[in-house]
Amino acid sequence: MSRVYNFSAGPAALPETVLKQAQEEMLDWRGSGMSVMEMSHRGKAFLSIAERAEADLRELMAIPDRYKVLFLQGGATAQFAMVPMNLLRGKDLADYINTGAWSKKAIAEAKRYCRVHRVADTSEEGFTRAPAQEELSLSPGAAYVHYTPNETIHGVEFPYVPETGAVPLVADMSSSILSRPLDVTRYGLIYAGAQKNVGPAGLTLVIVREDLMGKPMAGTPTLFDYEVQAKAGSMYNTPPTYAWYLAGLVFQWLKGLGGLSAVGEINARKAQALYAAIDGSDFYHNPVEPGSRSRMNVPFTLADPALDPVFLAEAADAGLVTLKGHRSVGGMRASIYNAMPEEGVQALIQFMAEFERRHG
Ligand SMILES: *Cc1c(COP(=O)(O)O)cnc(C)c1O
């Protein structure tokens, strides 16, 4: 068996130790005689898995009791609709910061439910930076302010948490959750599709302040009502049990590494090394303003785009895969989530230097 360094943006690499543990427990989960996939979600065994996962996530992120943690389906994309459905609470206006492809999708969906005010928009600059706090023209009457702390496609990350006063802040953390410590109390709601930094696809995490629930707009499907899901322990219907279990294994792995401050330091080192390699060469280029560069997704272009396919093919031969950039941005993208070891980033840096020597 040989495993590659997988730089996929999502679904993304998972920690090898987690996959091995899942493999060991595949046929017989701790003497139950069955796989987690075969268990009733209402049985004692799965409930213990579910509770443990939530407790570990609460510990890792220091989530206060007044926030509910939901394990849902539908991806971040379902949240693009569920957020306005649940958080408008009688209002007709929401503020959105537009910093890239994912913000744009969230805005388009929200417009089906309310008026959207773009409090800042970097589209005309090609989505190459996060706007500063002073640039945010917040509306006093907005039900909430939505932003994307890390734009997975453009490789833009906010270096700060927007200050929104009494208006709840909502964050799509699909590609940055658990990548570094954060202060949950700054947010009204955090959501994240699991397949980047948490676990397999099919699971969506929602962390929501209790007082924001309970006033869904008329017509909201029962399943999409946060309060219904909170009261049902995310089991109003059958939850994504296996993805929930695997996410739990990832949470334990993160605790074993020393929690989010330790993980954040590793991630900072990985990103710093890769950006230094890009900036130190005339052959590679990253278009993002240095203060807004993502620690998780690093897009870069080659001086000669005609070499793109050669780069991808030779990288794959060296065991470095899924480096092709998003079609809307072009070039390359290295996603270096928690599960990408430092050795993987070093191997990429070394390959890039060699490639430049041969083709630059
Ligand atoms: C991947 C991604 C999404 C889409 O997630 P799905 O789970 O496919 O719906 C949304 N927002 C961000 C920031 C992402 O990285």
3-state helix/strand/coil string of the chain? CCCCEECCCCCCCCCHHHHHHHHHCCCCCCCCCCCHHHCCCCCHHHHHHHHHHHHHHHHHHCCCCCEEEEEECCHHHHHHHHHHHHHCCCCCEEEEEECCHHHHHHHHHHCCCCEEEEEEECHHHCCCCCCCHHHCCCCCCCCCEEECCEECCCCEECCCCCCCCCCCEEEECCCCCCCCCCCHHHCCEEEEECCCCCCCCCCEEEEEEHHHCCCCCCCCCHHHCHHHHHHCCCCCCCCCHHHHHHHHHHHHHHHHHCHHHHHHHHHHHHHHHHHHHHHCCCCEECCCCHHHECCCEEEEEECCHHHHHHHHHHHHHCCEECCECCCCCCCEEEECCCCCCHHHHHHHHHHHHHHHHHHC
Mean pLDDT of 149-178: 98
Q: What CATH number corresponds to the domain at position 329?
A: 3.90.1150.10
Q: Whose CA is nearest to atom 7 of ligand 1?
A: 75
- With a cut of 80, say whether residue 38 has pLDDT above it: yes
- Structure confidence by residue, pLDDT tens digits, 306-337: 999 999 999 999 999 999 999 988 999 999 99
Give the per-residue pLDDT at 319.
98
Q: Which residue among 256, 272, 303 closes a domain? A: 256
Q: What is the pLDDT of residue 304?
A: 95
Q: What is the pLDDT of residues 213-225, one digit of tens each?
A: 999 999 999 999 9
Q: How far is the CA of 127 from the centre of ligand 1 (A)?
A: 17
Q: Residue 1 pLDDT more than 80?
A: no
My answer on whether 240 and 309 are in the same domain is no
- Which residue minimizes the CA distance to atom 12 of ligand 1? 174
Q: Percent of the chain beyond pLDDT 90? A: 98
Ligand 1 midpoint to CA 44 (Å): 32
| 236 and 112 within one domain | yes
Which residue is closest in CA terms to ligand 1's atom 1? 174
The boundaries of the domain holding residue 315 are 5-15+259-359
pLDDT digits (tens, 9 = 90+) for 41-55: 999 999 999 999 999
What pLDDT score does 261 carry? Answer: 98
Whether residue 118 sits in one domain with residue 23 = yes
Of all protein residues, the one whose alpha carbon is nearest to atom 2 of ligand 1 is 174
Residues 246 and 266 both lie in one domain = no
Cβ–ligand 1 distance for 152 under 6 Å, the answer yes
Predicted pLDDT of residue 360 = 85
Domain boundary among the residues 221, 256, 291 is at 256
Q: Is 193 in the pocket of ligand 1 (CB under 6 A)?
A: yes
Ligand 1 midpoint to CA 10 (Å): 8
Q: Do residues 191 and 333 share a domain?
A: no
Task: Say whether both 284 and 241 belong to one domain.
Answer: no
- Which one of 83, 102, 178 would you pick to mutate in the ligand 1 pocket, going by the greatest count of ligand atoms within 8 A of its CB? 102
* Mean pLDDT within 32-45: 98
Catalytic residue positions, numbered:
102, 172, 196
Domain tally, the chain: 2
Q: For the chain, what is the mean pLDDT?
A: 97
